[in-house]
Amino acid sequence: MIDGPFTVAIDGPAAAGKGTVSRALAERFGMAHLDTGLLYRAVAAQALAGADPVAAATSLMMAELERADLRTPEVAQEASRVAADPEVRRALVGFQRRIARQAGGAVLDGRDICTVIAPEAEVKLFVTASAERRAERRFEELRARGVETTLEEVVGDVRARDERDARRRDAPMVRAEDAEVVDTTAMTIEEAVEAASGFVERALAAR
């Protein structure tokens, strides 16, 4: 059990593997885990159903993150749009920061964790991969869930989302200057987890 707060902040584009790496790190080191993208997906799902995004973000409950429809392409695209709304982001900042600095440690992954949510994090990682490799992974994931799409459509979605996330005025997706890069383009899941674990182990040893 980690004594006191200890934050592992992980940023990166869609389908780079940051969620898989984050969950593995949380399990290996006994820390809590929060996929912050699910917060925006939960808000997006409500927005697609007609709710006001800011109101949905303000009243968001943890149970909303368990919805079965949060991984669809439609929700993913809407999540990128609502995440560009400064009011939505502000409504969710406090929620994320409380998780990040809780006793026992926490791993958070998203797009502005290192730069906005937890700039004081003990470990900062930027998990990335080529757009083509990320699209292949997302396509395989969607096909496994029975979602009808084409690789070309997924490549287009990935590139559009990257551009939107990088260009938004409020908390754009950028690599923090002090974040370590883990490029998973040619890595297996095991290799990516081991690479990320090394940074966590060194930070814990230096406490």
Question: For every one of its 207 residues, what pLDDT tens digit does the chain have, with 9 covering 90 and above?
Answer: 788 999 999 999 988 999 999 999 999 999 999 998 899 999 999 999 999 999 999 999 888 988 888 988 899 889 989 988 999 999 999 889 989 999 999 999 998 999 999 999 999 999 999 999 999 999 998 889 888 899 999 999 999 888 888 887 777 788 999 999 999 999 999 999 999 999 999 999 998
135 Cβ contact partners less than 8 Å away, ≥ 6 residues apart: 15, 151, 154, 155, 157, 158
CATH class (in words) of the domain with range 7-205 = alpha beta
- What's residue 73's pLDDT? 84
pLDDT of 20 reads: 95
3-state helix, strand, coil in the chain (%, to 5): 55, 15, 35
Classify each residue of 20-56 as buried b or exposed e, where b means 16 or more C-beta atoms within 10 Å of its C-beta.
Answer: bbbebbbeebebebbbbbbbbbbbbbbbbeeeebbeb
Instruction: Report the candidate in 196, 41, 45, 37 with the shortest Cα–Cα distance to residue 128.
Output: 196
Which pLDDT score, from 0 to 100, does residue 173 have?
Answer: 81
The predicted pLDDT at position 71 comes to: 86
Q: Do 159 and 44 touch, CB atoms closer than 8 A?
A: no
- Residue 43 exposure: Cα atoms within 13 Å on the Cβ side: 26
The count of C-alpha atoms lying within 13 angstroms of the C-alpha of 83, restricted to the half-sphere facing its C-beta, is 26
Per the annotation, binding residues are 12-20
Give DSSP secondary structure letters for 122-154: SEEEEEE--HHHHHHHHHHHHHHTT----HHHH
Q: Are 148 and 138 in contact (CB under 8 A)?
A: no
- Residue 166, pLDDT score: 81
Going by the annotation, the residues of the binding site for ATP are: 12-20
What is the pTM (predicted TM-score) of this model? Answer: 0.83
Q: Can you list the positions of beta strands (E) in the chain?
A: 7-11, 32-35, 106-110, 123-128, 180-183
